[in-house]
């Protein structure tokens, strides 16, 4: 998978690069991990997919377990923005973090 194949990915890659360079902690809700793995496997294969859990293990991203309150907020966001539609994973990223 290359950014040139998907031009919109350039902006996301740039954002992650800037945040990482500034030493911001990059949180990854539990709902995102499986979806990212699936996407990477589908688009780029197992070798690239395996890099994602590796960076999680190395601490480049911080996995975040979700609480019951988080899931209630996710449900509220999905209902509120049903015309988008906003899915569970998107809502888990959009919600505020302490």
- Bridge partners, residue 40, by sequence: none
Residue labelled with tokens 């890659």? 13
- 45: DSSP letter: -
> pTM of the full predicted structure?
0.68
Least confident span in 18-27, 34-43, 45-54, 83-92: 18-27
List the chain domain ranges.
26-65, 66-98
- DSSP one-letter string for 80-95: HTTTTT--HHHHHHHS
Q: Measure Cα distances from 14 to 17, 21, 45, 98 in Å.
A: 5, 10, 23, 25
Where do the H-state alpha helices sit in 1-98?
Answer: 9-21, 30-44, 46-49, 51-58, 68-80, 88-94
Output 15 or 52, whichever has higher pLDDT: 52
Q: What angle do the packed helices 51-58 and 30-44 form, to 10 degrees?
A: 140
Q: pLDDT per residue over 54-94, tens digit each?
A: 989 998 888 999 999 999 999 999 999 999 888 899 899 88
């Amino acid at each position: 998978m290359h950014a040139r194949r998907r031009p919109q990915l350039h902006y996301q890659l740039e954002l992650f690069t800037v945040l990482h360079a500034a030493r911001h902690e990059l949180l990854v809700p539990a709902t995102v991990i499986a979806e990212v793995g699936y996407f990477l496997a589908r688009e780029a294969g197992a070798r690239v997919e395996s890099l994602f859990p590796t960076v999680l293990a190395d601490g480049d991203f911080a996995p975040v377990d979700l609480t019951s309150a988080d899931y209630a907020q996710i449900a509220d966001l999905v209902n509120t923005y049903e015309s988008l539609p906003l899915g569970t994973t998107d809502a888990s990223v959009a919600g505020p973090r302490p």
